[in-house]
């Protein structure tokens, strides 16, 4: 089913953080949202999640910081049970272990509270929670920023295969153009609270039009070692 | 005269009964950059803390020019720049702290000169940390690191809090400042693209041990260990080394 939202707008303290924005997301589509810090990427992500949940669309959201998803006073097992209840899934210990092993957090102690886990493990736990059900859309806000490269690559590969199996669409928010170039087919460039450019990933990387997209593509990769 | 050199010789650090660093030996010459890469928990930040003297090695020595390393007053640029700033003090007060601590006078215009080089408006120095952007705070923390002209600067994930454009600009700036001031840079990062682009050498750290020390070109084309290959391949999959391979 095609997902669509129209005229999303966010204002805070008299400032417009997100100018009226409309979006259509095709089934299984991989969309990347890139832009500088403060351009409104996470704001659009939150507004999109809220609007789609209002339409009863199954949306899973992995926030940039696991602090946004985990209650410091509750154990990790409590969070897992809570997510299963919210998604109306029957407890499936085998699926849980499968996800934990794939994300390499199977040795984490579920009786501990979030602060008993490292930040990278917390992030992977939140990603695992997002994969409990079969969401129509997975919104990932800088999912690999707290992970080291080997774990980050493995996590992105796992996400790719799960999304493929479940026919889930992905909305990847990142400031890493290299990551976006590898993982998405359509790229949106955010600038000052507006979508400045929306194009297929390969053509946007080859021929960016707006100054924001040009700046991002110019700084896409590091220079070669000398 | 031979260049000054940082020597880390057979250093081990213990936390309780566990070794967080085991028999680490590295060296770094003035004007050069050593990038230390590895997974979370490998001991990268412990290495920084040991060089700064914040943790005492269980064995081994760390020296600068054959003297204890703290004699050269190494500076630190942190991952989260605002974490190193006192929120009650102005940026100017914070960046001048190393000068006050060293007790050595500096020329009156050095602060303005550094602000010019780092493209940080001088009037921002009168603001407090919460009133500037994270990119500006990272440039201010680099000014603080440079202000007392230390021969050795330690960078702990200096770019990870910045967006992609600011990351590349800041990396280029650090390289230009190193050419101008000649300091030795020990950079701890898990961004392999950055390590390969700006490191003169790359040291791969895993579970508290050095797996290999290699040139960036060799690291990108043919890492010497299985773990080095895993890191390189992961960086390619994440798009960090796409154009360099």
What pLDDT, in 10s, does the model give residues B41-73?
889 989 999 999 999 999 999 999 999 999 999
Q: Residue B140 domain-assigned? A: yes
Q: How confident is the model at residue A118 (pLDDT cuts 50, 70, 90)?
A: confident
Q: How confident is the model at residue A64 (pLDDT cuts 50, 70, 90)?
A: confident
Q: Residue B80 domain-assigned? A: no
Q: How confident is the model at residue A119 (pLDDT cuts 50, 70, 90)?
A: confident
Q: Which residues of B touch A157 (CB under 8 A)?
A: 237
Residue A2 tokens read as 């095609």
Q: Residue B209 domain-assigned? A: yes
Mean pLDDT within B147-172: 88
Domain span including residue B104? 86-149
Q: How far is Cα B108 from Cα B96, in angstroms, rounded to an integer? A: 12
Domain count, chain B: 2
The predicted complex's ipTM stands at 0.79
Smallest Cβ distance to A225: which of B167, B216, B238? B216
Question: Domain check: are B157 and B145 in the same one?
Answer: no
Question: Domain check: are B162 and B226 in the same one?
Answer: yes
Question: Domain check: are B167 and B241 in the same one?
Answer: yes
Question: Domain check: are B67 and B158 in the same one?
Answer: yes
- Chain A residue closest to B237 (CA)? A153
* Residue ranges covered by each domain of chain A: 3-218
Question: Domain check: are B124 and B7 in the same one?
Answer: no
Question: Count of CB atoms within 10 A of residue B99's CB?
Answer: 17
Check B244 against A219: CB less than 8 A apart.
no
Contacting B residues, span 123-152, partner chain A, CB-CB under 8 Å: 133-135
Among B122, B149, B176, give the residue marking a domain's end: B149
Residue A143 tokens read as 């999912």
pLDDT higher than threshold 90 for residue A44: yes
What pLDDT, in 10s, does the model give residues A187-198?
999 999 999 999
- Averaged pLDDT score across all residues of chain A: 91
Nearest alpha-carbon partner for B25 in B70, B2, B52, B57: B57
Question: Domain check: are B139 and B181 in the same one?
Answer: no
Question: Domain check: are B104 and B211 in the same one?
Answer: no
Check B134 against A178: CB less than 8 A apart.
no
Q: Which residues of A touch B191 (CB under 8 A)?
A: 149
Among B101, B130, B149, give the residue marking a domain's end: B149
Q: How far is B196 from chain A (nearest CA, A)?
A: 5
Check B39 against A216: CB less than 8 A apart.
no
pLDDT higher than threshold 60 for residue B244: no
Q: How far is Cα B101 from Cα B73, in angstroms, rounded to an integer? A: 10
Q: Which residues of B touch A34 (CB under 8 A)?
A: 164
Q: Is A69 helix (H, G, I), strand (E, B) or coil?
A: coil
Nearest alpha-carbon partner for B54 in B35, B37, B74: B74
DSSP state of A189: E
What pLDDT, in 10s, does the model give residues B126-146?
999 888 888 888 889 999 999
- Chain A residue closest to B240 (CA)? A178
Least confident of B126-130, B200-204, B238-242: B238-242
Question: Count of CB atoms within 10 A of residue A134's CB?
Answer: 14
Q: How far is Cα B126 from Cα B129, in angstroms, rounded to an integer? A: 10
Question: Count of CB atoms within 10 A of residue A214's CB?
Answer: 14
Q: Residue B18 domain-assigned? A: yes
Question: Domain check: are B224 and B165 in the same one?
Answer: yes
- CATH code of the domain covering residue B14: 3.40.50.300
Please name every residue paired with B76 in a beta bridge, in sequence order, or none if there are none.
B154
Instruction: Note the CATH number of domain A3-218.
Output: 3.40.50.300
Q: Using a CB–CB cutoff of 8 Å, tell me whether A36 touches chain B.
A: yes
Question: Domain check: are B58 and B96 in the same one?
Answer: no
Question: Domain check: are B137 and B22 in the same one?
Answer: no
Q: Using a CB–CB cutoff of 8 Å, tell me whether A107 touches chain B.
A: no
pLDDT higher than threshold 70 for residue A220: yes
């Amino acid at each position: 089913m095609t997902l669509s939202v129209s005229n999303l707008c966010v204002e805070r303290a008299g400032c417009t953080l997100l100018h009226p924005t409309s979006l259509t997301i095709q089934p299984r589509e991989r969309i990347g949202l890139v832009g500088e810090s403060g351009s409104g990427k996470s704001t659009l992500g939150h507004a999109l999640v809220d609007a789609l949940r209002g339409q009863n669309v199954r949306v899973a959201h992995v926030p940039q910081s696991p602090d946004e998803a985990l209650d410091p006073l509750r154990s990790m097992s409590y969070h897992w049970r809570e997510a299963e209840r919210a998604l109306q899934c029957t407890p499936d210990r085998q699926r849980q272990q499968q996800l934990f092993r794939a994300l390499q957090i199977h040795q984490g102690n579920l009786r501990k509270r979030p602060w008993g886990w490292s930040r990278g493990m917390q992030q992977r736990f939140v990603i695992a929670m997002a994969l409990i059900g079969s969401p129509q859309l997975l919104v990932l806000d800088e999912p690999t920023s707290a992970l080291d490269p080997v774990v980050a690559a493995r996590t992105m590969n796992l996400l790719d295969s799960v999304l493929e199996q479940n026919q889930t669409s992905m909305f990847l928010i990142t400031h890493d153009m290299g990551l976006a170039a590898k993982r998405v087919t359509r790229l949106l460039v955010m600038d000052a609270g507006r979508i400045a450019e929306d194009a297929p990933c390969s053509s946007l990387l080859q021929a960016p039009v707006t100054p924001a997209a040009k700046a991002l593509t110019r700084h896409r990769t590091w220079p070669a070692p000398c | 005269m031979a260049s000054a050199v940082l020597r880390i010789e057979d250093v081990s650090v213990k936390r309780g009964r566990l070794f967080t660093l085991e028999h680490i030996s590295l060296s770094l010459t003035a004007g050069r950059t050593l990038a230390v890469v590895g997974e979370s928990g490998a001991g990268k930040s412990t290495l920084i803390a040991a060089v700064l003297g914040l943790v005492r090695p269980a064995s081994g020595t760390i020296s600068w020019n054959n003297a204890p390393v703290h004699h050269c007053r190494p500076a630190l640029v942190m991952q989260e720049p605002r974490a190193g700033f006192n929120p009650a003090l102005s940026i100017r007060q914070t960046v001048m702290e190393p000068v006050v601590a060293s007790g050595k006078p500096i020329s009156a215009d050095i602060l303005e000169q550094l602000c010019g080089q780092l493209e940080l408006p001088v009037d921002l120095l009168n603001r407090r940390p919460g009133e500037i952007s994270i990119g500006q705070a990272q440039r201010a923390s680099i000014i603080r690191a440079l202000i007392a002209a230390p021969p050795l600067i330690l960078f702990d994930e200096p770019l990870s809090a910045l967006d992609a454009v600011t990351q590349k600009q800041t990396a280029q700036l650090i390289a230009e400042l190193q050419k101008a001031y000649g300091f030795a840079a020990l950079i701890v990062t898990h961004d392999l693209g950055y390590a390969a682009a700006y490191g003169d050498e790359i040291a791969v750290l895993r579970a508290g041990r050095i797996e290999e020390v290699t040139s960036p070109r060799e690291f990108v084309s043919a890492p010497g260990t299985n773990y080095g290959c895993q890191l390189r391949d992961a960086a390619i999959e994440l798009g960090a080394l796409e154009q360099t391979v």
